[in-house]
Amino acid sequence: PFYMKPAECQKGIGGMYVTGYDEKEDRVMSKSGQSFAFDDFISRTINYANSAYYRKEAGFLFQKIVRQHQDIIDFSGTEVPCGFRITVLNDVVEPILHRVRWKLVAKGNTNDNFSNGKSGNIVVLVDVGTGKISDGLNDNWPYATYCQSHPETGRSFADFTIPLWDK
């Protein structure tokens, strides 16, 4: 298994979590349960057209599947990696960890792209000092709703701390 995505793109366009290849049938299988004829797979990924957000000439990244901490799997209800967006301020003396957003993947999704709330994924803020998380946000203003617990697992955001945050 591997995850592939354009090196330069936005909104998760052209990304795919590939779980296998059936050589006999010449089909690629995805984490979402779909399978594609190899030529169709290439059309949906590397040869994706009609998007201002994707530059084919920038190339593609192929990545091993990251196994996230079991506590995160239990909290989020998915093995699909939930990414962190980390903002670091480059001070004159030293870098300062300023803000961390955690993008929680919704069931059935294969990437953490928020897509302005359209993907179903949720965003929370992480307290940079403690690793505790805020309530979840499911969209952008003015359509956003705060969630006090994960909509799929029912786990409370207030009771969760990112594992190994102090490390």
Q: What is the pLDDT of residues 25-55, one digit of tens each?
A: 999 999 888 999 999 999 888 887 767 777 7
The Cα–Cα gap between 156 and 26 comes to 44
Q: What is the pLDDT of residues 83-106, one digit of tens each?
A: 999 999 998 999 999 999 999 998
Q: What average pLDDT does this structure show over 150-163?
A: 95
pTM of the model: 0.80
Is residue 155 exposed (0-12), middle (13-18) or buried (19+ Cβ within 10 Å)? middle
Q: Report yes or no: 28 and 38 within 8 Å, Cβ to Cβ.
A: yes
* Average pLDDT for the chain: 89
Amino acid 126 reads: V
Q: What average pLDDT does this structure show over 42-71?
A: 85
